[in-house]
Structure 1
Amino acid sequence: MSATIAEILQANRSGRSTPARTVAACLEAIERHADPSIFTALVGPEALGEQLAALEGRDPAGLPLYGVPFAVKDNIDVAGLPTSCACPDFAYVATRDATAVARLKRAGAIVIGKTNLDQFATGLNGTRSPYGTPRNAVRADLVPGGSSSGSGVAVAAGLVPFALGTDTAGSGRIPAGLNNIVGVKPSLGLVSTAGLVPACRTLDCISVFALTVADAMAALKAMAGPDEADPFSRPLPFGTPGACPPALRIAVPRPEDRVFLGDRQAEAAFTQAVARMAALGARIVEVAMEPFYETARLLYEGPWVAERYAAVGPFLESKPDSFNEVVRAIIEEGRRRTAVEAFRAHYRRVELAARARAALEGCDALMVPTMPTVYTVEEMLADPVRLNSNLGIYTNFVNLLDMCGIAVPSGLRPDGAPVGVTLLAGAGRDAHLAAIAAAFHASTELAMGATGRPLPALPAAMPRVAAGHHEIALFGAHLSGLPLNGELLEAGGMFLRQARTNADYKLYALPEGRVRRPGLLRVEPGGGAPVECEIWALPAEAFARFVDAIPAPLGIATIQLEDGGRVKGFALEAVAAKGARDITGFGGWRGFLAEEQRQREAAGISAAE
């Protein structure tokens, strides 16, 4: 099959194909691939017919996933299919779809089947299932990654354009890294987990695997939103990903904190990825990783393992022999944890979260290797606990710190193993991360998964403003990478493009307050000069709050752009320009700050002083 969501939509909507033919091609691809360990169950002809019939008479243009096949990890309910969690004795036939699955169906997507996993979603390697180990799509001797092994391989092999996984400790990212595909781990609570058999209920989230960032975000958008059936769901900003903002600040582990377990190829690959990000214009900020690593250790060495026992403890007590030996040993450890330990660990997690936020202050994202090294199936089976733990070094801390993440490929090693990076940010910044991840992924010029097909080019056209959003022109401290940009991101802001005003404006440096900022003043026609700005989009409600919070002497006015366009933006009261420094000649706030920095460096004054 090997098609993207965009390609399938175009074919189905144009009449070149139909949802029925698309589904048939998907099933043929599964049969040709001939790996019985990928799927635990396929949807039967009658149920597929019912899904296809539900699309009849509906407007394809109004269905964002019209006729797009997808697979579901076998710890998420699909009505009429068994939910086994890779434990046949546990299996039950679901009577209703999980909320996420139901929303995808309403968007026009077609469930094809259920995919294999490390039993009870306990593992990061993909070898802990009685249904076998799915064959890594890129290099067959490597582990496929887990626990969402079947979903990751199904996408990488081109069997389905997207698949649902879950991610508690990295299960939505490790299979992506090991199979040269994209894995989106959304903010906790963005997607309902109603209908998911929990692993650690406070940390679980439903994730998405796809061949491209755009595909993954299209699926995520269809699922996102609060759900009364899930008390852990919450309203979070979620907009359409825009263009990649300029002047990014990307945090990376400082060299002494980078862990590769002696794997020189993995180390070299990450160094190259950092250089690639810098080549895209990002400023690289090295940060200490100990708060993140200590948080990661809390997940399995601390009392959170008791959550796994809380999820399946009664079944384990009644049928212990139904469990994979390694999985059983991990879950049984939860019996020994006490409430006192849990509270102490919670206090420590909060302390570490504060340190982690401080380390990333002012940064757009933290970029880490998706995994520190790779292992063969043979190696993993010989040392299943220690090597599995190694895979989670860069993933285990993420949900404990309430972060969202996107794993994207970064290259292929000389030995043919895939390597990738994961971009991480605070909750609610999913779309912002997607814009950065898409630009990075496109720069690699890799094939998609194991399909051999090149990545589609990024759209040349500027992203459109989503319905219910308003454009705003920014000139100062809210620009990407500057101190107040985080306010935009937290409000669901989307970067659209860089621009300049026409020549009717002057820019002034205002007296310093909490944050340094400039003011834009309209003058007589041609009496000023073009001033650089960024155009962002904000949801209507956030736009209203944003405007209401603007301090005097700034306000909102209609800004005339150099290209003839008009957009609302920050403007300065004329009275405030009296006595203020005219900095129009620098071309914009960034130009002014850069010249200040140049003068400081020439005088031997550090930025900290």
Structure 2
Amino acid sequence: MNIEALHREYAAGTTTPAQIVEAIFARIASEGVHPVWISLIPKEQVLQRAAALQNQDPTKLPLYGIPFAVKDNIDVANHPTTAGCPAYAFTPTESATVVAKLEAAGAILIGKTNMDQFATGLVGTRSPYGAPSSVFSKDHISGGSSSGSAVAVASGLVAFSLGTDTAGSGRVPAMFNNLIGLKPSRGVLSTHGVVPACRTLDCVSIFTQTAADAAAVLDVASGPDPKDPYSRTPTPGAGASPWAAASTFKFGVPAPSALQFFGDTHNPALYQAAITALKSLGGEPVEFDLAPLLAAAQLLYKGPWVAERYAVISDFIQAHAAEMDPTVAKIINGAASYTAVDYFDSAYKLQHHLRQTEQAWKAFDLILLPTAPRTFTHAEIAESPIERNSQLGFYTNFVNLLDLSAVAVPAGMRPDGLPFGVTLIGKTLAEAALLPLADSLQRKLNQTLGGSKDLLAGTTPLKPATTPTGTLLMAVVGAHLTGQPLNWQLTDRGGKLVRTCRTHPDYKFYALKNTTPPKPGLVRVPGFEGKGIEVEIWALPSDTVGSFVDGVPQPLSIGKLRLEDGTLVMGFLVEPEATQDAFEITNLGGWRNYLATLKK
């Protein structure tokens, strides 16, 4: 089940939202509520919602009739929130901001999904409501803590679901169930109405079968929220991802000696296949030191950040520890021993690791890692619940601490029939840029959607944005071209070459006098019918454009330039007066052709 397919069926009149709801509830009645769900919205209430939608214009509702689920630490008005602990349950009068946004866009909420209690775990087994299994094996865990949310999507009960992610809970279950798991940067999705785990690190996550669906949900659900003090309002240049428009990019991979699979024999080869696939999409692997990221990860559960979990439920755990999952109670109770001194010591360490990773990011645009080293059976988790949970977070625990964005991507099937997954990790606020690449990578490595036999090839690819996140397109014609003396002014600002093309035919081109280094001038002459002038289009981080423009000397200027396809971009122009004593080179079609004539 995916958004595109449902909208196609609604448009064709082959089904209705009410019929979809009836089919979902029939399946749940047949399969049972637990362990995937903790509770359902009453069927009659959901049917009323579906009937009301049929009187609205689908073209004005981007998620018209799309069924979804939310993890049971996310509030739904007048419906219990348990956080996976019955003794903690309360009934909110207001829905979480993200839920309200999704419903306003036409989505239909089916129910609240199972989870590791208080979102403490990556296994999906720490719940009194049962332990969901991977849709591929009843013996293997679903992953957690957003266990039910992942299984509900992978099994086709809903088209998308919301989870939460502090340490990897929106990514590990995605791998174990062959899903896209989008973990946006902190603050992109409001956490107002979400029971915190670590409030300073928590993110609402999105599970879907395709990257296009994740992008559609992100578009609806994101945005600043005055009710959430950790909500973000992006500034110009925030999340700048010039690489997303380029034909080539660089991606970080750890040294082979740093990789850990904890005894698994299948996943190393699948990870190497993912590297090969990303190379075929234009990526160049760059080896980097994983150690600073792993050192930061250690702070999450072996440092005072675990005390945030205690801060959320300190009164409750003191009175109800016996009613909690024993492993969860042990982890959270242990946090009470941390002091303010411990916090500051760890904060200093984290800042050190952050600076180390900032240096590493200068060598690449994104990182490719296994989502999890391996999977486990329910029996294996029961044997060693804390150690093996820790192993699952080997490649995920550092991401929120370092304020990064991530998309977990299905990456093929193992010989034993279980899915493997990798994660694309980007800088802060780069999630929208990661999703089209995730789509392309999924199409290289995977054939089916979730736990179904539906083919990914039957869905529409997600195209990258013409202008990537946080960037501005700039056309250059002379000394700033690749290999020319001022090209460094683009590359030093993080600019990436997007493509080479031509201007609209109505431009004349001149070699200017008395310029150092030599520079050309481009002038639009309405009615002139030439062949267009060769230009390079560069994507620049928006917050660097001001300093770039400030360095442009007279008689040159930056203005709107029309390309051969009619689109407008910023680009170099010249004051017409400067062309009076210049040498016209329009017939040569570009600056490189002119320079070639000088060598003859």
Instruction: Give 1:552-571 correspondences, 5 Å limit.
Output: 552-553=552-553, 555-562=557-564, 564-571=565-572
Q: Does 1:401 align with 2:376?
A: no
Distance 2:184 2:333 in 1: 29
Write out per-residue CA displacement over residues 109-165 of structure 1, whole angstroms, 9 at most, x where no aligned residue.
010000000111000011111111112112322110000000011111111110000
Aligned counterpart, 1:380: 381
The number of residues matched between the two structures is 568
Aligned counterpart, 1:115: 113
Aligned counterpart, 1:425: 426
Secondary structure, in 3 states, of the residue corresponding to 1:83?
A: coil
Instruction: Give 1:283-294 correspondences, 5 Å limit.
Output: 283-294=284-295
Instruction: Give 1:364-379 correspondences, 5 Å limit.
Output: 364-379=365-380
Alignment equivalent of 2:137, drawn from 124, 136, 139: 139
Q: Does 1:483 align with 2:491?
A: yes
Question: CA 1:27–1:518 in 2, change beyond 3 Å: closer, same or farther?
Answer: farther
Identity of matched residues, %: 39
Letter in 1 for 2:203: C
Q: CA deviation at 1:92?
A: 1.5
Letter in 2 for 1:427: T
Secondary structure, in 3 states, of the residue corresponding to 2:312?
A: helix
Secondary structure, in 3 states, of the residue corresponding to 1:372?
A: coil
Instruction: Give 1:50-89 correspondences, 5 Å limit.
Output: 50-55=48-53, 57-89=55-87
Distance 1:505 1:377 in 2: 71
Letter in 1 for 2:21: V
Distance 2:324 2:419 in 1: 31
Contact kept in structure 1, 2:162 and 2:206, CA below 8 Å: yes
Q: CA deviation at 1:50?
A: 4.1
Question: CA 1:386–1:469 in 2, change beyond 3 Å: closer, same or farther?
Answer: closer
Ranges in structure 1 where 5+ consecutive residues have no aligned partner = 489-494, 589-609
Which moved further from structure 2: 79-88 or 565-574?
Answer: 565-574
Distance 1:486 1:11 in 2: 44
Distance 1:283 1:123 in 2: 34
Write out per-residue CA displacement over residues 62-95 of structure 1, whole angstroms, 9 at most, x where no aligned residue.
1110111000101111122211111111111222
Question: CA 1:507–1:61 in 2, change beyond 3 Å: closer, same or farther?
Answer: farther
Distance 1:348 1:518 in 2: 49
Instruction: Give 1:67-466 correspondences, 5 Å limit.
Output: 67-236=65-234, 245-456=246-457, 459=460
Q: CA deviation at 1:229?
A: 1.1
Distance 1:226 1:523 in 2: 41
Contact kept in structure 1, 2:475 and 2:572, CA below 8 Å: no
Q: CA deviation at 1:507?
A: 11
Distance 1:508 1:283 in 2: 37
Distance 2:355 2:530 in 1: 49
Question: CA 1:243–1:344 in 2, change beyond 3 Å: closer, same or farther?
Answer: closer
Question: CA 1:393–1:115 in 2, change beyond 3 Å: closer, same or farther?
Answer: same
Secondary structure, in 3 states, of the residue corresponding to 2:401?
A: coil
Distance 2:271 2:229 in 1: 39
Instruction: Give 1:3-18 correspondences, 5 Å limit.
Output: 3-18=1-16
Q: CA deviation at 1:537?
A: 11
Alignment equivalent of 1:531, drawn from 531, 534, 538: 534
Contact kept in structure 2, 1:296 and 1:397, CA below 8 Å: yes
Q: CA deviation at 1:13?
A: 3.9
Q: CA deviation at 1:249?
A: 1.2
Write out per-residue CA displacement over residues 166-195 of structure 1, whole angstroms, 9 at most, x where no aligned residue.
000000000001111000001101111011
Secondary structure, in 3 states, of the residue corresponding to 1:12?
A: helix
Letter in 2 for 1:350: Q
Distance 1:160 1:507 in 2: 60
Distance 2:161 2:169 in 1: 13
Contact kept in structure 1, 2:433 and 2:464, CA below 8 Å: no
Secondary structure, in 3 states, of the residue corresponding to 2:139?
A: coil
Contact kept in structure 1, 2:511 and 2:582, CA below 8 Å: no
Larger Rg: 2
Distance 2:367 2:15 in 1: 41
Distance 1:9 1:330 in 2: 44
TM-score by length of 2: 0.85
Secondary structure, in 3 states, of the residue corresponding to 2:356?
A: helix
Aligned counterpart, 1:551: 551
Aligned counterpart, 2:598: none
Q: CA deviation at 1:274?
A: 0.5
Distance 1:23 1:518 in 2: 65
Secondary structure, in 3 states, of the residue corresponding to 1:571?
A: strand
Q: CA deviation at 1:220?
A: 1.4
Distance 1:512 1:119 in 2: 68
Q: Pairwise CA RMSD of aligned residues?
A: 3.8
Secondary structure, in 3 states, of the residue corresponding to 2:145?
A: coil
Q: CA deviation at 1:264?
A: 2.7
Contact kept in structure 2, 1:507 and 1:521, CA below 8 Å: yes
Q: CA deviation at 1:33?
A: 4.5
Q: CA deviation at 1:61?
A: 0.6
Q: CA deviation at 1:358?
A: 1.1
Question: CA 1:501–1:316 in 2, change beyond 3 Å: closer, same or farther?
Answer: same
Aligned counterpart, 1:606: none
Ranges in structure 2 where 5+ consecutive residues have no aligned partner = 595-600
Secondary structure, in 3 states, of the residue corresponding to 1:221?
A: helix
Q: CA deviation at 1:48?
A: 1.2
Secondary structure, in 3 states, of the residue corresponding to 1:312?
A: helix
Question: CA 1:421–1:469 in 2, change beyond 3 Å: closer, same or farther?
Answer: closer
Distance 1:93 1:426 in 2: 37
Letter in 1 for 2:148: G
Distance 2:321 2:334 in 1: 13
TM-score by length of 1: 0.84
Distance 2:510 2:412 in 1: 44
Distance 2:510 2:314 in 1: 65
Letter in 2 for 1:552: V
Distance 2:72 2:582 in 1: 67
Question: CA 1:301–1:8 in 2, change beyond 3 Å: closer, same or farther?
Answer: same
Distance 1:32 1:220 in 2: 32
